[in-house]
Structure 1
Amino acid sequence: MTEHALSFHPARPRPDRQRLRLLTQVGFFVLFVLAPVFDLLRYDLVAGHAWFLGMEWHAGLADFSAGRTGALDAALGIVLRVFLPILGVGAVLIGVAWKWGRLYCGWLCPHFSVVETLNRLMRRATGKFSVWDKRRLPPIEPDGTPIRYDARWWLLTAPMAVAFAFVWAVVLLTYLLPPFEVYGNLIAGTPTRNQLIFISAGTVVLSVEFLFARHLFCRYACAVGLFQSLAWMGNRRGLVVGFARDRAADCASCHSACDHVCPMRLKPRKLKQAMFTCTQCAQCVSACETTQRDNPDGPLLQWVSAAAAEANEAPALPAQARI
């Protein structure tokens, strides 16, 4: 194959895509908060067993300790009740990532929804998504709406980061202790010493992470994201943001909106190997659809997969492999 350019058919803008993604993020965040309350998924340190979909989930070690079962039965119980479910969930996650990329991160992950919320607030306060960014973003939305940067937004940004950190710390604790005990103690203002230490330490650590290192965590420290990225990079036909390079001149009419909206601070027009941590949030695609809405040839960025994804990555292959 000697033709490297990837051409797209004109496509209508899809403003509903980001609304749908917001709904999935909000829904999963609510599930993340309420799962321990309804015993959908948690491990109870007090009772010494897990809960799953409202049912007690035992590994069988209690029976082994009491002498009611042998070592073989105990080992089999651990394999069937602990390792196989974990491996099954991991296999589903990796399988989805292999075909569609980090969809979990961009469309469900409760941490990433906090990242994007704080991105928007911090941009208002500083003109940047991160305090480590060297340059301010253009004060304009993809649709042309101007944005006014004002340091007074810090009065909302910093408290929101701390509030999210507190919520996370409390929710994480309910995955380990009876939720009604945790919430009851907080409402009464009488948390136990260990509960207070856990919530206080978690709030401090997460506040620092949300304010200064949330992008770094998603890109370099999150094991769930890393394994998804590795699986996705191994599939050249997987879903990817494709760029119509033969029409790159059309980008001259845009202020690089696709670059500026990326919550992971990536450059969407680059090849896949430079997009290792892409979360498939499609904000770059939506931005391109908006800026090119009057272009009869349609946007320059679109989701592509299978043969179209391979064609999009062709310029990265050695010359002999392209023939």
Structure 2
Amino acid sequence: MMPTNSASTGPAIAPATGGNATGWLGLRVQRWRQLTQAGFFLLFIFAPVFDIFRLDLNVKHFIFFGLDWTLGLDDFLAGRATAVQASINIVLRGFLPLVAGAGTLIYVSWKWGRLYCGWLCPHFSIVETINQTLRRAIGKQSLWDAKRMPSRNPDGSETKHDAIWWFAVVPLVIFCAVLWAVVLLTYLLPPAEIYGNIWHGTLTRNQSIFLGVATLAFFVEFMFARHLFCRYACAVGFFQSLAWMGNDKAMVVGFKRERAKDCSTCFSACDHVCPMRLNPRNVKRMMFACVQCGQCVDACDQTQADNPNGSLLNWVHDLRAESEAAFNVRAARTIMITPVDAGKKE
């Protein structure tokens, strides 16, 4: 599910206000996002089980939808194919699929931002789940947040913190770490072998070492550095952000700075709901790690539901997005596109 928008009114799938923005089939946009995340998470877990995609170290090549995906060099090494035929196989089976996949991801990122991160990525699904559970334990979505979040939610409900939730946080992080370690190993070795060895307690020495080290690494990352990983260590996210930053007219969350005083009636709800711990009212370059989840937009819709002028945050692109691409807030305020100006430029 991909957010779509217009230059003047924001997302076409979310025209409503008051936190009831709806999308296809009448479901809320955030519900669609949860469904796409859940679906991709299940795909991530079961893709190796059903041989949809994995790298089998035993046979030393990829398996794609049950078929061996090789570069087709066996015939060349056996003297049954020429160097030209081998070169063609490398291009068709290796280079072109890589370029097509990377190109698609870069184009989507250039036009709409880090949609993969916010709408599909299984790691980010875990980040958000741990965020909300940790909030119930300490009132913060991250151990590194300077202050506790308000107990009040944008929709008016309350989420109060209680230390007893630590009994949920720690087991959740351990479970996620173990799950990721096991799933990643099934991408490298036959899933039936791995799950069978776990069930019967017959893991090999190397398999045990891999699972132990990977589980420890994921536990540390999920507990202490999950946001830092998404911002600085994830190559997929980093290159999506670079592509997005390279397009001044790409879809972005726009802030109506001329109405900034209306924020005084709010408790900075947009800041608090952001799972990446960003300030959505800032200019685009300060939102480098934005994952386009839209939770800040929904929060503003809810807190400004009684404001006749509507919310202050909305999806913008093209001419409206150029203001958000300014170097700083002062410059952004000077790039005001009126309907007349927009008509002239278009």
Report the TM range for the smaller structure's normalisation.
over 0.9
Report which structure shows greater RCO (CA 8 Å, sep ≥6).
1
Query: Kindly, what percent of the aligned residue pairs are identical?
Result: 58
Deviates more, 1:11-20 or 1:160-169: 11-20
> Given the two structures, how large is their TM-score scaled by the length of structure 2?
0.87
Partner of 1:254: 266
**Which amino acid is 1:181 matched to?**
E
Query: Which of the numbers 48, 60, 65 marks the counterpart of 2:60?
Result: 48
Q: Is the 8 A contact 1:243 1:300 kept in 2?
A: yes
1:271 to partner: Cα distance:
0.7
**Which amino acid is 1:127 matched to?**
G
Q: Is the 8 A contact 2:112 2:251 kept in 1?
A: yes
Query: How do 1:296-311 residues align onto structure 2 when only pairs under 5 Å count?
Result: 296-311=308-323
Q: Is the 8 A contact 1:169 1:199 kept in 2?
A: yes
1:65 to partner: Cα distance:
3.1
State the alpha-carbon separation in 2 of the partners of residues 245 and 276 from structure 1: 19
* Deviation by residue 1:258-313 (Cα, 9 ceiling, x = unmatched): 00010111100011111011000001001111111121211110111111212444
Partner of 1:3: none
Query: How do 1:112-191 residues align onto structure 2 when only pairs under 5 Å count?
Result: 112-191=124-203
Partner of 2:300: 288
Partner of 1:111: 123
Q: Is the 8 A contact 1:7 1:244 kept in 2?
A: no
Partner of 1:268: 280
Q: Is the 8 A contact 1:11 1:298 kept in 2?
A: no
**Which amino acid is 1:78 matched to?**
I
User: Is 2:328 the counterpart of 1:316?
Assistant: no
SS in 1 for 2:247: coil
State the alpha-carbon separation in 1 of the partners of residues 29 and 58 from structure 2: 43
User: Is 2:93 the counterpart of 1:78?
Assistant: no
1:67 to partner: Cα distance:
3.0
**Which amino acid is 1:165 matched to?**
A
Partner of 1:23: 35
State the alpha-carbon separation in 1 of the partners of residues 120 and 130 from structure 2: 16
Query: Which of the numbers 184, 203, 207 marks the counterpart of 2:219?
Result: 207
SS in 1 for 2:102: helix
Report the RMSD for the aligned CA atoms in angstroms. 2.2
State the alpha-carbon separation in 2 of the partners of residues 69 and 177 from structure 1: 30
User: Is 2:81 the counterpart of 1:69?
Assistant: yes
Deviates more, 1:209-218 or 1:55-64: 55-64
Partner of 2:3: none
State the alpha-carbon separation in 1 of the partners of residues 86 and 331 from structure 2: 52
Q: Is the 8 A contact 1:102 1:278 kept in 2?
A: yes
**Which amino acid is 2:110 matched to?**
W
* Deviation by residue 1:138-176 (Cα, 9 ceiling, x = unmatched): 111111212211111111111111111111111111111
SS in 1 for 2:225: helix
Query: Which of the numbers 182, 187, 192 marks the counterpart of 2:204?
Result: 192
Partner of 2:102: 90
Query: Which of the numbers 36, 41, 46 marks the counterpart of 1:34?
Result: 46
Partner of 2:251: 239
**Which amino acid is 1:30 matched to?**
L
Q: Is the 8 A contact 1:8 1:244 kept in 2?
A: no
State the alpha-carbon separation in 1 of the partners of residues 325 and 29 from structure 2: 25
Residues 320, 39 of structure 1: alpha-carbon distance in 2 compared, 3 angstrom cutoff: closer
Q: Is the 8 A contact 1:7 1:246 kept in 2?
A: no
1:61 to partner: Cα distance:
2.9
1:86 to partner: Cα distance:
1.3
* Deviation by residue 1:228-259 (Cα, 9 ceiling, x = unmatched): 00110111110000011111111111100000
Deviates more, 1:312-321 or 1:167-176: 312-321
Count how many residue pairs are aligned between Structure 1 and Structure 2: 318
State the alpha-carbon separation in 2 of the partners of residues 239 and 147 from structure 1: 31
Q: Is the 8 A contact 2:250 2:321 kept in 1?
A: yes
SS in 1 for 2:98: helix
1:76 to partner: Cα distance:
3.2
SS in 1 for 2:208: helix
Residues 142, 45 of structure 1: alpha-carbon distance in 2 compared, 3 angstrom cutoff: same
State the alpha-carbon separation in 2 of the partners of residues 28 and 180 from structure 1: 21
State the alpha-carbon separation in 2 of the partners of residues 65 and 185 from structure 1: 35
